[in-house]
C-alpha cells in the first residue's frame, strides 16, 4: 500500500493512494499513520478492511502532509553512501576529508524539527547560512523494533520506503568541529513523503531511480544500485548494539550532483522550486521561502 497523511477539513487524516491517483481517506477515528507504522501486522490488516468504507477523492483534491509527525528521536542518516558523491566532494570538505574510502557506513542524525510535508515550504534564512544544498535520498521507515539485526533479516524490520531531501547548510556543517548535526538540523528544511510505500509493493529496492531538480533542471539522477553500502548493511550496522524502534526514519545517502561539489557551486535561493523524485515512491515539490530563523523565538 501507499499510505499518506492528508489534510481534510483542517485535520490530518490517514489515506491510501491507489494506482489511478485516487485517494481513500479514512475516518477521523482511524489511527494515524504513525500509529499504523508502530502497530504491526494486526493493525495493518484491520486497515485493509477499513479501506472498503473510506471516502474517495482524487489525489489533486487533497493536500498531502508529511506522512509521519511523531518521531522517537532524531532522523538517522547515512553519509557518503554513493561513491560518486564521495569522490565528487573530495577536496571540497574544507579540511574534513577522510584519508580513504570508509570501510563502514558513516552515520549522523538530524533533528525531527527539520521535517516538512511533500508540498510544504522549505525555510531559508541567509543569516543562518549562505550555502543551502539539496540531497535527494531514499528513506527507510522502521516498522519492527530490533537490535543487532542480521543483514538477512533486515527487511523484516522495514515498514516501507519514502522520499526525502536532506537539505544541508554546508558552512554550518563545516563550522562545528567536523560533526554534521548543526548543518543538518535547521528547522523546516527536510521534505519527507509524499507517502510511505510498504515493502510488499517494491519489487527491487535496488532498481529505484533517485532524482532532484531545481527550477526544472535535473541536478541529481542515479540508481540505488550505485549505493556503496546496501540498505540491509545500513540496518545491520546501525542496529549493532543499538535498538532501532518502530517509527524510526533512516536516510540512506545521496548520489552525486550536490550543489557544493559543482563548479560553479549551486546553492538554493529564495523562490527556487525543488522537486525530489524516486521512481515508484513518488515526488516531493517544495518552494524555498524566506523565514526568520535567526531571531529569538521563546
For residue 129, give the CATH number of its domain: 3.90.850.10
Q: How far apart are CA 278 and CA 202, in angstroms?
A: 12
C-alpha cell, 182:
548543526
pLDDT of residue 83: 93
Give the pLDDT of residue 272.
Answer: 98
Residue 184 main-chain phi, psi, to 5 deg: -120, 0
Q: Which of 12, 31, 65 is the last residue of a domain?
A: 65
Handedness of CA 190, 164, 140, 53 (dihedral sign): positive
Domain boundary among 65, 94, 120: 65
Q: Is 172 found in the same domain as 57?
A: no
Residue 98 lies in a domain: yes
Q: Would you say 108 and 81 are in contact if contact means Cβ atoms under 8 Å apart?
A: no
Instruction: Indicate whether 54 and 119 sit together in one domain.
Output: no
pLDDT tens per residue, range 250-298: 999 999 999 999 999 999 999 999 999 999 999 999 999 999 999 999 9
Q: Is residue 296 part of a domain?
A: no
Residue 105 is assigned to a structural domain of this protein: yes
Same domain, 88 and 133: yes
Q: Is 244 inside a domain boundary?
A: yes
* 131/219 same-domain check: yes
Q: Does one domain contain both 95 and 236?
A: yes
**Cβ neighbour number for residue 297 with a 10 Å cutoff:** 7
Residues 6+ apart with CB under 8 A from 133: 167, 168, 169, 170, 258, 259, 260, 267, 268
Considering the domain boundaries, does residue 70 fall inside one?
no
Helix, coil or strand: residue 199: helix
Whether residue 240 sits in one domain with residue 154: yes
Tracing cell 557551486 back to the chain, one arrives at 265
- Please tell me whether residues 37 and 128 are part of one structural domain: no
CB–CB of 133/168 below 8 Å? yes
Alpha helices, DSSP H, located in the chain:
33-50, 83-88, 170-175, 181-184, 231-239
pLDDT of residue 247: 98
On whether both 121 and 260 belong to a single domain, the answer is: yes
* 214 in a structural domain: yes
Are 36 and 91 in a shared domain?
Answer: no
212 in Cβ contact with 219 (< 8 Å): yes
User: Considering 65, 96, 116, which residue would you say is the last residue of a domain?
Assistant: 65
Looking at residue 94, what is its pLDDT?
61
My answer on whether 91 and 194 are in the same domain is yes
pLDDT at position 9: 82
**46 and 101 assigned to the same domain:** no
Instruction: Report d(CA 117, CA 67) in Å as an integer.
Output: 7
Number of domains in the chain: 2
pLDDT at 96: 63
pLDDT tens digit sequence for 218-259: 999 999 999 999 999 999 999 999 999 999 999 999 999 999
* Prior bond of 194 cis (ω within 30°): yes
Question: Can you say how many angstroms the Cα of residue 56 is from the centroid of all Cα atoms in its chain?
Answer: 27
Low-confidence ranges of the chain (pLDDT < 70): 91-99
**Considering the domain boundaries, does residue 298 fall inside one?**
no
| Domain boundaries, position 145 | 75-290
Amino acid at each position: 500500500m501507499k499510505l499518506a497523511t492528508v489534510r481534510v477539513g483542517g485535520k490530518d487524516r490517514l489515506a491510501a493512494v491507489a494506482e489511478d491517483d485516487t485517494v481513500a481517506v479514512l475516518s477521523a477515528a482511524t489511527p494515524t499513520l504513525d500509529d499504523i507504522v508502530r502497530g504491526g501486522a494486526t493493525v495493518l490488516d484491520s486497515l485493509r478492511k477499513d479501506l472498503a468504507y473510506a471516502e474517495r477523492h482524487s489525489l489533486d483534491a487533497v493536500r498531502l502532509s508529511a506522512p509521519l509527525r511523531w518521531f522517537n528521536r532524531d532522523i538517522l542518516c547515512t553519509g557518503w553512501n554513493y561513491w560518486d558523491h564521495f569522490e565528487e566532494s573530495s577536496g571540497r570538505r574544507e579540511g574534513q576529508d577522510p584519508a580513504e574510502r570508509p570501510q563502514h557506513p558513516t552515520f549522523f542524525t538530524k533533528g525531527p524539527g527539520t521535517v516538512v510535508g511533500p508540498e510544504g515550504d522549505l525555510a531559508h534564512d541567509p543569516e543562518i547560512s549562505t550555502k543551502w544544498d539539496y540531497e535527494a535520498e531514499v528513506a527507510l521507515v522502521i516498522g519492527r523494533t530490533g537490535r543487532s539485526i542480521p543483514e538477512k533479516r533486515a527487511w523484516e524490520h522495514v515498514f516501507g520506503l519514502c522520499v526525502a531531501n536532506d537539505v544541508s547548510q554546508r558552512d554550518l556543517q563545516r563550522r562545528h568541529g567536523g560533526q554534521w548535526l548543526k548543518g543538518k538540523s535547521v528547522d523546516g528544511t527536510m521534505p519527507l513523503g509524499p507517502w510511505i510505500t510498504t515493502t510488499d509493493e517494491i519489487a527491487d529496492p535496488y532498481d529505484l531511480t533517485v532524482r532532484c531538480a531545481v527550477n526544472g533542471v535535473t541536478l541529481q539522477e542515479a540508481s540505488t544500485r550505485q549505493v556503496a553500502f546496501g540498505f540491509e548493511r545500513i540496518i545491520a550496522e546501525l542496529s549493532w548494539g543499538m535498538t532501532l524502534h518502530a517509527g524510526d526514519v533512516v536516510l540512506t545517502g545521496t548520489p552525486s550532483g550536490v550543489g557544493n561539489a559543482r563548479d560553479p557551486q549551486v546553492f538554493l535561493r529564495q523562490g527556487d522550486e525543488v522537486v525530489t523524485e524516486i521512481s515508484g515512491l513518488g515526488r516531493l515539490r517544495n518552494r524555498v521561502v524566506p523565514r526568520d530563523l535567526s531571531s529569538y523565538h521563546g
